[in-house]
Structure 1
Amino acid sequence: MFKIKASGKIDNLKDEYSDFSLILDKIYASYESGKNVLEDISFKAKKGDILGIIGGSGAGKSTILRAMTGQLDRKILHKGNVITAGIDVLKNNKELINKIGYVPQLEYLSLYFEFNAIDNCIFFGKNYQLDKNTIRENAKEILEVLGFDDELMHKPVKSYLVERKKS
């Protein structure tokens, strides 16, 4: 889930892109097997939009997130355009990496599973010199949209991930 905050302009941006902070336009991605993991994926989001990416195991959710955050090169993301926060991801991913964070669900990072959801947001946000209170307010707002009540926001992440994996 993303709350779109950044809105920038890049030179020579197509007119149909100009009002959006996040654009995936007809992207295709494949790994070593050569089989497309993403095929003709397109969507746009404006500043302030909240975006959820839902799908089964292997559906390409993580690949979409990696594309949006500049973590895929042209060998993998071989067709289409990705523009995030006004940055053409495929041409300038180093600039983007300094502006956006993505924390995948990795079980071997057990420290983060001991934190609650809000503390996770604060921990990673502080790496970008963001104000702790601002992070807390934004995290709480987004977690409420996701259906977290106050009790769940303050439970260790591992307590509800384990429950989810059992179902």
Structure 2
Amino acid sequence: MSEIVLDIQSLTKTVHKQKNIVEDVSFQVKKGEILGLLGPNGAGKTTTIRMIVGLIKKTKGTVLINGHDMNQDSHVCKEQIGAIVENPSFYDYMSGWKNLQQHARMASNPVSNERIEEIVRLVQLEHAIDEKVKKYSLGMKQRLGVAQALLHQPSLLILDEPTNGLDPKGIRELRDYLRELTKAGISTLVSSHLLSEMQLMCDRVVIMEKGRLIDETVIGDLNEADESAAHVVAVQCGIGQQTLAKELIETIPGVELLELEGDRTLLLQMQEDKIPFMNKLFVDAEVDVFAIEKKKTSLEEKFLSLTARENAEDTQEVQ
């Protein structure tokens, strides 16, 4: 099996009047990796996922699953994928258990009742698994969809907004289970609008805007500092010393006071290599320094910055 489980190359979807709703998108998902697919509404995330799993035809591009081409070996590829795309569909007149059994019968490899029971416990549907699905809430149907996607132990999970309808405890349990799956080498492509949750769940994220891929970020690198870059730094000083600290800050070239928080904290924008000099300046002036904290960059901040920049560039092109 290839170390690259999913490899999409130049994926494009063109609709009427030659409009590209997905344009030249390429990325890979490695074995045992969780990759997040981010983007605002209309960015092309669901269209990309639907092309990957073969629900709609792509205009051009290649989809490889463990080295197999979806065009040439679609049956082999689909055997290795478990997916929830948009809202999962069920037989409403059947129970949740009967739905899972029916799905298990369609799997190429046998799925035991023990495996079904294990998945039911994972998604916390024990109390309702024998009830008809038409009685399920949206959240319960979403949990049943996750269970259905996991039944045949695929090498690649593709989950489109899998946390819809789940409460915080359910989201945490799903995240923990996906992490357990990575230990067994199973890969996941997941789209979601919960940016903070994606930062906790994913190893990498790719960001789409208006059908194009605009960024790829390794989550582990997101908070690593670049010494030459300006960062937001919070400095907590003694009570009553905020004014003196502010005056000292004004004497340091390249350090900008952004905000005063409460009566003890200053938010500054500065390069990391200026922190030791600032700290010594405070100590020499007998300003008590209780904490110096470099604020971490969140995935949400980066996402909003990138999409805002992309929109600004498009506006300039139109003008």
Pick the TM interval, shorter chain. 0.5 to 0.7
Q: Does 1:46 align with 2:42?
A: no
Could you tell me whether the CA contact under 8 Å between 1:68 and 1:84 is conserved in 2? no
Greater C-alpha Rg: 2
> Number of residues paired by the alignment?
122
Provide TM-score, normalisation by structure 2: 0.32
Could you list the per-position Cα deviations for residues 104-157 of structure 1 after superposition, in whole angstroms to 9, with x for gaps in the alignment? 23288774724286654324423x378xxxxxx876333797458xxxxxxxxx
8 Å Cα contact 1:28/1:40 also seen in 2 = yes
Unaligned runs of 5+ in 1: 1-7, 10-18, 131-136, 149-167
Q: CA RMSD in A?
A: 3.4
Which residue identity is paired with 2:150?
Answer: G
Distance 1:140 1:87, change over 3 A: same
Query: Could you tell me which residue of structure 2 aligns to residue 12 of structure 1?
Result: none
2: CA distance, partners of 1:90 / 1:31: 20
Name the SS for the 1:48 alignment partner. coil
Cα 1:125/1:142, change in 2 over 3 Å? closer
User: Shift of the alpha carbon at 1:32?
Assistant: 3.9
Write the mapping of 1:1-167 to structure 2, written as runs, cut at 5 A: 8=1, 19-73=3-57, 77-106=58-87, 111=136, 113-115=138-140, 120-126=145-151, 128=152, 140-142=176-178, 146=198, 147=200
Deviations along 1:80-119, one digit per CA (max 9) or x if unpaired, are 2111233211222232223212212328877472428665
TM-score (norm 1): 0.56
**CA drift at 1:33:** 4.7
State the AA in 1 paired with 2:68. Answer: I
Aligned pair in 2 of structure 1 residues 24, 118: CA closer, same or farther (>3 Å)?
A: same
User: What fraction of aligned residue pairs are identical, expressed as a percent?
Assistant: 25
- 1:105 and 1:81, CA in 2 relative to 1: closer, same or farther beyond 3 A? closer
Ranges in structure 2 where 5+ consecutive residues have no aligned partner: 91-133, 155-172, 181-196, 202-319
